[in-house]
Structure 1
Amino acid sequence: MEKNQSPFSSKQIITFIFLTFGITAFFDIYSIWLNVSGTAATLFNTAAMWSPAIAVFLTKLIYKQVAISINWKWPKTKYILLSFAIPILYSLISFLIIWVAGWGTFYNQEFLKEISNSYGITSLSPSFVIFIFVLMTGVFGVFGSCANALGEEIGWRGFLTTQLFYKYGYIKTSLIIGIIWAVWHYTVLIFGDYNNGTPFWFGLICFTIMIIAATFIFTWFTIKSGSLFPAVLLHATHNLYIQRIFTPLTDTNLITPWYIGEFGIVLPFVMIVFAFYFISRRKELMSGK
């Protein structure tokens, strides 16, 4: 898309952000107020993650734009493969740092025992159990994780990145969306239990840095591929490997919460390194501001 074909519309952007925060607040506040759990909590989380997509469709409806241009096309295979590999790489680096430094240890024997029982492979060695667990969760689990990630990415990358990039360029777009995306999570970060158990301000700072750094990666892939699907896979793989694979496989101690996962200090700084790598490649995009 050339610059003179820019889809930028300040009215649509403001409407989208207002609707996204409003719809999400309904689900977040309700779930926190009533302390929902189990299946209900999962459903409310799904609803919140699909709020940006709902906001996009409502925005288009309000402005009577039937054709929704949100980068639906399927990208080149290399972008799909890289989008799967990169979150695994920065997650693995982060957890290797934690394990080597002793801020947590590999592996959690109790968790592995649960996995062995659930898979019916109690007679196998721990290394093979871990292999089966990572294979099943880290490959086939991506499909389920993508279902939720798609709801967010239709909004953040499919709509908002497309709107902002051709006016503000790569760096400003990534910063703007990174800040908005981080603040969007603040209700559950401050009032809910979406943290590691450290003071909320610490988790908030680490999470904000991590999200902004991630946005530079997501924006790069969205613009370079011309598709929202690499961002969907980046998002899904990130959530899956950090939340459901590496974190539960880590045996914790008293200081682990300060270092582990999205609310600890290690992952944000590793992702800053990755973000600067993609910033250094911004000239490959159509606008390198």
Structure 2
Amino acid sequence: MPLRRPLKSLIKLRYRGTQLAVFVVLTYALAWSSWFSISTPFVQKGGIYFRILGSWHGIPGPDLFVLLGNLSPGIAALITITLASGKTGLADLWRRSTAAHASFAPYAIACLLPIAYSYFSLVILHILGTQAAHLDSPFRHFIDLALTLPFAPLFEEIGWRGYLLPKLEKTTGDFRSSVLVGLIWGPWHAPLLLMAPHPGMALLDVLIVFCILTIGLSILFTWTFNWSRGLLLPVILLHGFHNAATSYFLSSTISAGGWMPLLILTVIVWLAATAVLIIGRMYKNGREEWRVAGP
């Protein structure tokens, strides 16, 4: 009588294509189910609140479900790694993500590059005659950066660069891997784009331009990730500073500029990505110098 195979071995994901498919499906399912729930009465009236020193503080239901959706790439990556490699895969991800083998340069680039391309986008908008931006104190944006860094940037990068990118780089060139990550990363935001105001621009046009922007960003993120030899912290910082810098410099221009701020930002980001490709320093410390985990 044949021995029964353990349940764990039955559900173990043995093939890379299956692993990638499971990761993508889980990422989209977890995020989109959270984000499309935001308009429901349960979420609109809900939230998590605590009474502190006589006052109520907390997270409203819609903000909470946006946050839950942002966590989906990391959660999906951890589930997929567990099914494919178990504790060994999780330990390897932790080792690659936390080993202190990067120079100071990737950290500096991660902090300064988003400020640079966001600021230059604002300058171009001003030259083109778009209504001047109303810049508030940057302090609030840095507070938001500090508060959100352990959540959306961290969990997104565990999925996009910690798991998906190294898997693709095993069989695909670095540039193609960047494009593929961007093509998955961009449409993933579709429900959030549906809820965000974009005056003078159809949703489909917004999604197309946003995906082009995301592919350009993916090239910059891949360059930073491989430059640091697979360390996640630089790309987590890059992600957080991108969110903070674009919010600070460009959010107030959306109502006045319509589609123009997004388009200008996309052009500037692609100029930076093209410069990275042409200069030839992209992936100088690439895959050959650090081991990628997983089968």
1:248 positional shift? 4.6
Q: Is the 8 A contact 2:38 2:65 kept in 1?
A: yes
Match of 1:175? 179
TM-score normalised by the chain length of structure 2: 0.77
1:87 aligns with 2:114: yes
1:276 aligns with 2:274: yes
Aligned equivalents of 2:108, 2:241: Cα separation in 1: 11
Match of 1:25? 32
Secondary structure, aligned partner of 2:186:
helix
| 1:76-99, Cα deviation, whole Å (9 max, x unpaired) | 222111100000000000011112
Match of 1:72? 97
Match of 2:195? 193
Q: Is the 8 A contact 1:31 1:44 kept in 2?
A: yes
1:45 positional shift? 1.3
1:251 positional shift? 8.8
1:44 positional shift? 1.1
More off after superposition, 36-45 vs 142-151: 36-45
| 1:137-174, Cα deviation, whole Å (9 max, x unpaired) | 35444222312211111000001111111321211100
Match of 2:3? none
Match of 1:205? 208
Q: Which amino acid aligns with 1:175?
A: V
Report which of the two structures shows the higher radius of gyration computed on alpha carbons.
Answer: 2
Match of 1:258? 259
Aligned equivalents of 2:80, 2:29: Cα separation in 1: 13
The alignment yields a C-alpha RMSD, in angstroms, of 2.4
Q: Which amino acid aligns with 1:152?
A: E
TM-score normalised by the chain length of structure 1: 0.79
More off after superposition, 219-228 vs 25-34: 25-34
1:59 positional shift? 0.9
Aligned equivalents of 2:255, 2:18: Cα separation in 1: 48
Q: Which amino acid aligns with 1:72?
A: S
Match of 2:242? 238
1:284 positional shift? 1.7
Aligned equivalents of 1:185, 1:52: Cα separation in 2: 12
Q: Is the 8 A contact 1:107 1:251 kept in 2?
A: no
1:96 aligns with 2:123: yes
Q: Is the 8 A contact 1:105 1:251 kept in 2?
A: no
Q: How many residues align?
A: 250
Q: Which amino acid aligns with 2:16?
A: S
For structure 2, the 5+ residue unaligned runs are 1-14, 46-58, 289-295
The percent of aligned pairs where both chains have the same amino acid is: 23
Aligned equivalents of 1:60, 1:146: Cα separation in 2: 23
Q: Which amino acid aligns with 1:94?
A: S
Alignment equivalent of 1:221, drawn from 210, 224, 227:
224
Question: Relative contact order: is structure 1 or structure 2 higher (C-alpha 8 Å, sep ≥ 6)?
Answer: 1
1:145 aligns with 2:148: yes
Which residues in structure 2 correspond to 1:156-171 (within 5 Å)? 156-171=160-175
For structure 1, the 5+ residue unaligned runs are 1-7, 113-132
